[in-house]
Structure 1
Amino acid sequence: MSRLSRPLASLAAAALATLPGVAAACSTCGCSLNSDWASQGYATSRGLHLSLRQDYFNQSRLVSGSDRVAFGSIPLPSEDELQRKTINRNTLLGLDYSFNRAWGLSVQLPWFSRYHETWPEGETTLSSSRGQGIGDIRVVARYQGFSPDAGLGVQFGVKLATGTFKQTFDAGSAAGELLDRGLQRGTGTTDALFGVYKFGYLSDSVGYFGQAMGEVAMNARDGFRPGNSLNVNLGLRYLDAGMFVPQVQLNLHGEQRESGAFADRANSGATLAYLSPGLGVKLGRRVDAFVFMQVPVHEHVNGLQIEPGRLWSAGVQLRL
């Protein structure tokens, strides 16, 4: 087995062994692309790294299990709420500081901009909402001092309850009513984060990384507790193409069902897998950028959920 396949195969096997018991609706997880520069080997030098990432995805495909469902096949009015679409334009600001080659700390501040439409229970006309604001901030420490090349690391941190979960519908018969908790900018809960990653080189021209990150809600808030989740990301990049760095990722995401009085338990939870080709660009000695397209290659959801057909991500990193 090659130097690449040994660590990635072990990580993938461990992650996939857990996936049948966990799940995630994309309406709650957002984009699963890995832009954690440290876990990819970009942030081993001491100092401050700033990053900015923009995601766009339109959730308008109705899915039940692993099957596409036509909206016209469901008569209105429905006995249950039926979501029509959610357009997401999300921004992620990252600050990463490496104290030395072994220890580092990152802070991620998300800004969400979402437009949502749904048919409320018993209604034939759409209700809609439009909102933007900060989401739940993540603070994650890492240690990668297990080997001289710093290629193996662990991560641990917390997701703070900084995003609102009180947004209401703007128009339609549901105007003034709260959005589903899975559509809010924050969960209202404090979550523990823990992960492991491995990066290295298959040859002078090919780099690889693997990362697994788990998230566990440590409390419930106002009758809602998000499902525990797991992200697994595997990636390759070609390093011998001048200023351009062709890349590809396999992104796996899983999350358990929501729970609590205000959870949509029947329509939450899934397993999702995306193939994500992309391109990195070296804009200067201290500046790197990327653009990726995520394509779903496997999805299995509980109940009825709306999923995107494509997800687009672009970002830049500055090393100070």
Structure 2
Amino acid sequence: MHAFTRTTLAALLATSLPAAWACSSCGCTLSSDWVSQGLSSATGLSLDLRHDYFNQDELRSGTRRVDRGSISFPAEQEIQRNTANHLTTLTLDYGISPDWGLALQLPYVLRSHGTVAAGDTELSTSRSSSLGDVRLLARYLGLAADRSWGLQFGLKLPTGRSSVNFATGPQAGQALDRGLQPGTGSTDLLLGAYRFGSLARNIDYFAQALLQLPLNRKDDFKPGSGLNLSLGLRYVGSGPVVPQLQLNLRSERRESGANADVANSGSTLAYLSPGVTATLSDRLKAYAFVQLPVYQRVNGLQIEPRRSLSAGLHYAY
């Protein structure tokens, strides 16, 4: 393992929680572990500011795309048009010791949504802009002498709004689907593990798994549990610019409760995510990724993005 990797593992998980869990049940799965490499020593404070954008506009059922032109209105079920998501996440990470660290993630969600409800012929729209669900994640890096193994554990807290209504159209004034609210209303347990290493000269890898388990329901709604798996490679022999490639997998179970859209929730998704990290100074790095779907299987009728874009800055004090 490279020397700079050994000395910075305490900061690697500062931004590791996938943004999908700040996007309620929608969205991106990118793991930004490696973007903080070389930015922090084993202890101390670092800040990460990340923006994710993805527009869910492709109607899908199972593993196939659905042609909206083949649907006549009014329809017997809801036909979603699109959901445009802008997610900005500030992560404050503090390395307490070489083995222990804490990360506080503060997401801000800007989301617009359009849909034609069952029995309607006109579009109903909503727009929300508010704090999402805050997450507190601890890490333990003392499983191996070189700190190449680690554990994560923490909570997602119900700080996001869950009371947004439709603003226009036939559904104006009615509650927006719970899965599209800025917050889920639930407190969730987060459990994860990771592994870092070197495959060959100048080629590193990582593997990470993170499980999210909702512990309660609010207003007769409980989000589905989810599992994120990320595998990544990077080439560190090109100076200040480090190319990376990730495979991001997510499996999410169906929602439950009287206010859940049980039939049209739950999915298994896989994305290929090329990206790059650039060193701007001794303390500052920038990163950018694009996520491209390689496999999508959804329950019922759902909309998914054709691509997702992520970019951010990481600063170590």
TM-score by length of 2: 0.90
Structure 1 counterpart of 2:189, from 192, 196, 203: 192
Which amino acid is 1:156 matched to? F
- Equivalent in the alignment of 1:232: 229
Q: CA offsets, 1:1-26, max 9 Å, x none?
A: xxx9xxxxxxxxxxxxxxxxxxx9x8
- Relative distance call for 1:70 and 1:242 in structure 2 (3 A) is same
- Equivalent in the alignment of 2:28: 31
Mark the runs of 5 or more structure 1 residues left unpaired by the alignment. Answer: 5-23
Of residues 77-86 and 43-52 in structure 1, the stretch that sits farther from structure 2 once superposed is 43-52
Q: CA RMSD of the aligned region, Å?
A: 1.8
Does residue 298 of structure 1 match 2:295? yes
State the structure with bigger RCO (CA 8 A, min sep 6), 1 or 2: 1
SS at match of 1:202: strand
Mark the runs of 5 or more structure 2 residues left unpaired by the alignment. Answer: 2-20
Does residue 183 of structure 1 match 2:180? yes
Which amino acid is 2:132 matched to? G
Does residue 313 of structure 1 match 2:305? no
SS at match of 2:33: coil
The CA deviation at 1:93 is: 0.7
Number of residue-to-residue matches in the alignment: 297
Which amino acid is 2:274 matched to? P
Q: CA offsets, 1:253-308, max 9 Å, x none?
A: 01100000000000001100000000110111111111100000001000000000
Structure 1 counterpart of 2:210, from 187, 208, 213: 213
The CA deviation at 1:318 is: 0.2
Structure 2 counterpart of 1:126, from 123, 128, 132: 123
Does residue 202 of structure 1 match 2:199? yes
Structure 1 counterpart of 2:277, from 280, 292, 311: 280
Does residue 112 of structure 1 match 2:109? yes
Structure 1 counterpart of 2:82, from 75, 85, 96: 85
The CA deviation at 1:45 is: 2.1
Identity of aligned residues (%): 53
The CA deviation at 1:205 is: 0.9
- Equivalent in the alignment of 1:11: none
Return structure 1 stretches of 4+ with deviation > 6 angstroms. Answer: 38-42
Distance 2:107 2:312 in 1: 13
The CA deviation at 1:198 is: 0.7
SS at match of 1:29: coil
The CA deviation at 1:40 is: 6.8
